[in-house]
Structure 1
Amino acid sequence: MCCFLAAEELQAESKKACLAFCLADPITRVPPPWGAMQHLHKKIPETASKKSQMYGYLLDQEKGLHILPDLLEFQLSLKPDEYELPALDSAWNSGSWEIPGQPLKDHLKDGEEEIET
């Protein structure tokens, strides 16, 4: 009986831990850089800042040269084209909706006769 009660208590604690884990907000962490990536992680920002200090005046000059041109003014056509509906087909006015012609079985028999000859 003691084993059964202990197992039941462990199961209840396990369910509580599982529920707490499922309801917790996800936590993502970036793994720390190592090896060559650790070296590049430090080197790239240093190189970028040095180059921006050395050649920053060139970037400022290029920004000054790029002036946007004025856009042309034109009139917009907001009136839609006129559209005429086509005339109604006579089949809509007729009372019978049957398609004139031969039945499907007769049509299939006609095709068999052409193949045999």
Structure 2
Amino acid sequence: MLQGVDMQLGLAIDNPKATLAVKRRLACEMVKYWQQIKDSIPELPLSDGWAKKHTLFVKWKYAEAKAAAYYFHGLILDEGNTEKSQEMAISSLQASEEFLKESKRASKAFHSTPPTSRISTPFGTTKHLLDMIPKETLSKLQNNQDLNTQERPSNTGVSQIITPPPPLPDFPLALNPEEYELPQLDPLLKKEANH
């Protein structure tokens, strides 16, 4: 399910006809799926040395999903015409950038944890986020600084909004797993196993 949503988000990002609302919804769904995984991973019996690696992978991808969700949420809030919506947009984009940094740290930790692995070149949704989040955040902060400078000429420096980001919208998950039971073992296979 999660891979399907990730693929849908990647396709939406590449499609100029896909709206920000669609991208935000998919990103918010990814956050919920990763949250479910994060909550259930302590229940898994991972005593074979892979527990830390699995936990770091989930931390990495969860932070990345939150970065995407706050990024698209910030872009939608930026379309608002009120001062409050502009402040919330900046706050969301700043949160997105912080989650992106957290994701990078978790990725490095994941790849350096035994068994070590090589950090791959970012692609798809991740590449888009790495390219766009810092640009959008800087652009929005500069625009806000320009507005504040016009209103209050004595204000110097980049205006930093130090408000917590607004909560992400809570969309219901579009995909839910179906219960599945493995079929009974074929009697012929049982006979072969006994021989």
TM-score range normalised by the length of the shorter chain = under 0.3
Q: Which is richer in helix?
A: 2
**Which of the two has higher C-alpha Rg?**
1
Higher relative contact order (CA 8 A, sep 6+): 2
